[in-house]
Structure 1
Amino acid sequence: MEQNRFNQTPPTIGISVRLAETPDEIRAAQKLRYQVFAQELGADIQSEDGLDTDAYDAHCRHLLAFDMATGEVIGCYRLLTAEGAAAVGNWYSASEFDLTPLKDILPQTVELGRACIHPDYRNGGTVMLLWAGLVKFMRDTDLRFMTGCGSISTRDGGHEAAGLYQMLKKKHLCPPEWRVRPLHPLNWPALTPKENPECPSLIKGYLKAGAWICGEPCLDEAFNCADVLILMDITRLNDRYLQRFIHD
C-alpha cells in the first residue's frame, strides 16, 4: 500500500511517480542513469551492461517517474536512510564532505542520490513531481531532513561553479552549526567566479522551497561537476507551495 500513495499525478500530466516495486524497474532506472551520466554528461562510469550500479543501490529505495503511456522510466531518485547507510557502511555524501556537523540530525534524514531525468522530459513539472513524491516518502516514514548533492557542471574549468556558490551563499547558507567541509574543494586561486551564473533547475527548485546549501562545493572529477550539499528541513516547507507543483 505504501507505493500507491506516491501515484498522485493527475492523468492529464501523463507521468506517475512511485517507489520501484521490482528488480526490473530498478534496472530501468540504472539504465537511465548510465545514459544520462555516462553517455550524455561524460561521467567516468565503468559498465559492461549499460547500467550505472554501485554498492549503495541494494540498500536504497528507488523513487521513479514513469511515462504512463509507455511505462518507460523517465526519471529517478535514489533514497538512502540511516538504516541503509549503516548497512552499506556510510552515507554516500560522506565521500565528498565531512558530515560531522550533521551527526545529530542524520537519524532523521533521507539522502538523495543519482537524480536524473530523460532529456525529453526535462521541465519543471517533472522535477517537481519527483520532488513531491520525495516529500510524501519523508512524511510517510517520519523523516524530517533531506540532504543530497546538487551538481554544477565544471566543463568550463569550475568558474561557473565558483560564481554560483558566491551568489548562493549570500541568501541560502544553512545555520552555522550544520555547515560542512568539502573533502576535495575547488582550486579557488585558479578560478575567476563567473558573473550571473545559471543555477541548475534541481538546485533552484530546492532553494525556492526553502532548502539551504551547507557550505563550499566539492569537486567531483569523475562526474565532471562540483557538488554543493543541499539540506532541507521539511517542517519549514510551505504546503501551499508544494500543492502548486503537484497540480501544475
Structure 2
Amino acid sequence: MIALTKGRYKARVASTPEELARAQAFRATCFGLQVSRDVDAFDGRCAHFLVVDTKDDALVCTFRMLDLSGAKVSGSYSAQYYELSALEAFEGRMVEMGRFCIHPNYRDPDILRIAWAAVTTYVDENDVQLLFGCSSFPGTETAEYLDAFAMLKARHLAPKRWLPRVKAPDVFRFAARLRRKPDFRKAMAHMPPLLRTYLMMGGWVSDHAVVDRQMNTLHVFTGVEIGAIPATRKRLLRAIA
C-alpha cells in the first residue's frame, strides 16, 4: 500500500468505496461539472490516489492509474480520442494516468511533488515501462496557447514509431498548422503543470490536440518512456518517494 508524506501533505491509495466517491466528487468540483460526482466506466479498473492536507484532512489532489497488463492500449481512456495502434508494439508494461486534478485554491508546489512521488513509487513497484495519459489545457480556444503548442512541435513530438493518429472529430493539428518560432517564456507560462512535469522527464506528445467541449479542455496525448527519463530526474523523484 502506497503512503507517502511531504511537508503537510500525505498521498495514499483509496481503499474504500467512500474514498472513491470522495475522489469522484472532488473531480467534479475541479472540472466544473454540473454533477455531484465525476464517474465513468474506467473507475472500477483503476487505482485511485488521494493527496490530503494533514492539518484538516482536506482533499487537495487526486488522480488514477489504469494498469494495462494483459490488456491492449485500445482499452484505455485515451484510446477514445487517439488512434493508438502504434503503441501495441511497445514492449513493456504500460499504465495510464488520468483524471489528474489539484484544488484551485491550493498552489503549494509540494502537492505536485508528492503526487509525482506516489506515481514514481507505483511505477517502480509495478515495473512500468510506459506512463501515458491526456494532458489538458483549460478551455477550448487555442489562441493563448500558440507558443506552447509551437514548443511542443519543435521539441517534444512523439517518435514516429509511437505517434498517435487522429481519431476525434474535433482537433487542432498544431504540428501541421503552426509555423511560428516559440517564445520560451510565453510557452512555459501557458504550459499546464502536469504536462510541464512530463516534459521535464523526457515525455513526448501527439502532433494534435483534441478539443473536448464536454470537459472544456484542449488535451494532447502524452507519454513518457521510463527508461528514457534522465538519471538526475529519476534521483530527484525517488528521493521524495
Q: TM-score normalised to the size of structure 1? A: 0.82
> Pick from 55, 65, 82: which aligns with 2:51?
65
The aligned residue for residue 209 of structure 1 is 201
The aligned residue for residue 181 of structure 1 is 165
Q: Which amino acid aligns with 1:236?
A: A
User: Which structure is higher in helix share?
Assistant: 1
Q: Percent identity?
A: 28
Relative to structure 2, which stretch is displaced further, 235-244 or 67-76? Answer: 235-244
Distance in 1 of aligned mates of 2:3 and 2:88? 33
Q: Which amino acid aligns with 1:181?
A: R
C-alpha deviation, 1:154, in angstroms: 3.1
C-alpha deviation, 1:111, in angstroms: 0.6
Q: Are the counterparts in 2 of residues 63 and 134 from structure 1 also a CA contact under 8 Å?
A: no
Q: Establish whether residue 34 from structure 1 lines up as the match of residue 20 from structure 2.
A: no
Per-residue displacement from partner, 1:4-58 (whole Å, max 9, x unpaired)? xx32324xx11111211111111111111011102xxxxxx453xx111111111
User: Which structure is higher in strand share?
Assistant: 2
The aligned residue for residue 210 of structure 2 is 218
Q: Are the counterparts in 1 of residues 20 and 48 from structure 2 also a CA contact under 8 Å?
A: yes
Q: How many residues align?
A: 231
Distance in 1 of aligned mates of 2:144 and 2:119? 28
Distance in 2 of aligned mates of 1:116 and 1:146? 17
Distance in 1 of aligned mates of 2:137 and 2:219? 6
Q: Which amino acid aligns with 1:56?
A: F
Query: For the aligned residues, what is the CA RMSD?
Result: 2.8
Gaps of 5+ in 2: none
Gaps of 5+ in 1: 39-44
Distance in 1 of aligned mates of 2:178 and 2:231? 40
Q: Which amino acid aligns with 1:225?
A: T
- Structural mapping, 1:1-248, within 5 Å: 3=1, 6-10=2-6, 13-38=7-32, 45=33, 47=35, 50-83=36-69, 90-105=75-90, 108-155=93-140, 157-184=141-168, 185-186=171-172, 196-197=186-187, 198-244=190-236, 247=240
